[in-house]
Amino acid sequence: MPVQESLTEEARRILRANDRGGFTIPTAGLYPFQWLWDAGFTALGWMQFDEGRAWQELETLFLGQWPNGMLPHIVFHRPEPTYFPGPERWGVTRTPPTSAITQPPVVATFVRWMLEQAQNQAQAEAKARSLYPKMLAYHRWFKRERDPENTGLITVLHPWETGADNSPAWDEALARVEVDPALPPYIRRDTAHVDPTQRPHQSEYDRFLTLLEVYKRAGFDQLRLLRECPFRVASLLIDCVLHRANRDLLWLSRRLGFADEAEIEGWLEASQRGIESLWDEEAGLYFNRDLRSGAAIRVGVSASFLPLYAGTSSPQRALRLLRTLEGWARQVRYLVPSTDPYSPRFEPQRYWRGPVWAVVNYLIALGFADYGYPEMALRIRQDTLKLCEMTGFSEYFHPLTGQGLGGGTFSWTAAIYLAWGQ
Ligand code: 2M8
């Protein structure tokens, strides 16, 4: 399916309109700052028509990196009143202000791709070389502060870190977070921009905000939070994206002449083991894990297919995943719904509980292509492009009707259209 010229132009226009001078906001009003994994996808979009601007997106993102290596999920480059919680509520006294949690670490993988596809190789190599130590510090932080016992799985401390904020996978773990009776009052901003039926419930927001108070009380001490934080899960989105990012960091280390191979290979051995321990033979899927109870979270989500993107699956497991997704395809019109459409928790229009996300589709399709299933990869690509063509560059889409949901003129959706159209 060829992409439409006019829509390619429209997608570029969206990135330009959302450009705030060196960083791209996801969409005006609803998300007026720079988000970590959005910046990664957006850089891929910029790469298709302005390479210098693409590299700048990542350089700007790393301005928010903490001295301990952590790359925060939001960088508040400049004040904006339309989003909550902003920098005051996070209470991180750094310049630029940031949040205190991370997000799926897509960057090293995308830097590799950008280097591979750059027209301007000299620029790309110089940029990749200067980003490399920062990415290494970030990945070391994951290992040191979120998997100090080398279990092979990263401990995630907030649903926001997974990128899939209100996924049904987090329901029980989040329900165990007791809402802080002294939670400072707050006014949500998201529901002023988007129909509340497409956003998380208030009970979830109270817990999201309670977790911020927990971090502040712990002085953001990660090792202490690993013991004390009431929300602790292993997330396929984080573990699979990090595994692939470490493969690509290893590639970059060799390509650019750094000498970190042994260290990165050690991480990969552990995460290979960790991710494969999340397989469920009966369901034919990978499940997230509740790290407080140790139990599998037995609800299928789009991230359940990401071990293909990570590259940790065996061919047998890959085939089971294919069959599972073929089953889902009989229930919905557009792939890939963010929650198993057979699950009673499937809600086709509520944020991460059912709708289709172009960025996740991109990763899943790559995984199927890598494992020798180009038809499924093509189907996912075609569905994604069709959704954009039918209803525009929305934040997410209804898997049955194709209706565009959430915020409009959305950077990462436009970026995927550009990256996938080439
Ligand atoms: C959503 O998350 C933010 C919090 O980080 C929010 O709802 O306020 C998620 O979809 C996340 O994955 C995404 O990065 C962010 C910006 O697009 O929005």
Cα dihedral sign, 104-101-72-45: positive
Give the atom of ligand 1 at the shortest distance from the alpha carbon of 412: 17
Residues 6+ apart with CB under 8 A from 112: 128, 248, 251, 252
Domains of the chain: 5-421 (1.50.10.10)
Q: What are phi and psi of 364, to 5 degrees?
A: -65, -45
CA distances from 262 to 97, 139, 151, 268 (A): 35, 14, 18, 10
Query: Residue 393 and residue 134: Cα distance in Å, rounded?
Result: 32
Place of tokens 């988007």: 194
Residue 73 in contact with ligand 1 by CB distance below 6 A: yes
| The pLDDT value given to residue 1 | 61
Ranges of beta strands (E only) in 41-147 are 74-75
DSSP for 23-67, written as a single string: SB-SBTTTB-SEEHHHHHHHHHHHHTT-HHHHHHHHHHHGGG--T
Pairing mode, if any, of strands 288-290 and 285-286? unpaired
Residues 6+ apart with CB under 8 A from 147: 153, 154, 155, 270
Nearest partner of 241 among 335, 359, 406, judged by Cα? 359
> Which candidate in 19, 145, 165, 340 is catalytic?
165
C-alpha of residue 48 to centroid of ligand 1, in Å: 24
Helix, strand or coil for residue 141?
helix
Rounded to an integer, what is the distance from CA 36 to the centroid of its chain? 8
| The pLDDT value given to residue 4 | 77
How many other C-beta atoms are found inside a 10 Å radius of the C-beta of residue 401?
15
Residue 86 in contact with ligand 1 by CB distance below 6 A: no
| The pLDDT value given to residue 2 | 65
| The pLDDT value given to residue 94 | 94
Catalytic residue list contains 395: yes
Catalytic residue list contains 165: yes
Q: Which of 103, 160, 201, 338 to mutate to test ligand 1, by most ligand atoms within 8 A of the CB atom? A: 160
CB 197 within 8 A of CB 406: no
CB 399 within 8 A of CB 334: yes
**Length of the chain (residues):** 422
- Whether ipTM > 0.95 holds is yes
Residue 163 in contact with ligand 1 by CB distance below 6 A: yes
Round to the nearest angstrom and report the end-to-end CA distance of the chain: 11
Ranges of beta strands (E only) in 248-316 are 279-280, 285-286, 288-290, 296-297
Q: What are phi and psi of 355, to 5 degrees?
A: -60, 165
| The pLDDT value given to residue 5 | 81
Residue 26 in contact with ligand 1 by CB distance below 6 A: yes
pLDDT, tens digit (0-9, with 9 covering 90-100), for 369-422? 999 999 999 999 999 999 999 999 999 999 999 999 999 999 999 999 999 986
Q: What are phi and psi of 290, to 5 degrees?
A: -85, 115
Residues 6+ apart with CB under 8 A from 228: 214, 218
Which regions in the chain score pLDDT beneath 50?
none
Q: Does an H or E element contain 359, and which?
A: helix 358-370
- Please tell me whether the peptide bond between 336 and the residue prior to it is cis, using omega within 30 degrees of 0: yes
Residue 160 in contact with ligand 1 by CB distance below 6 A: yes
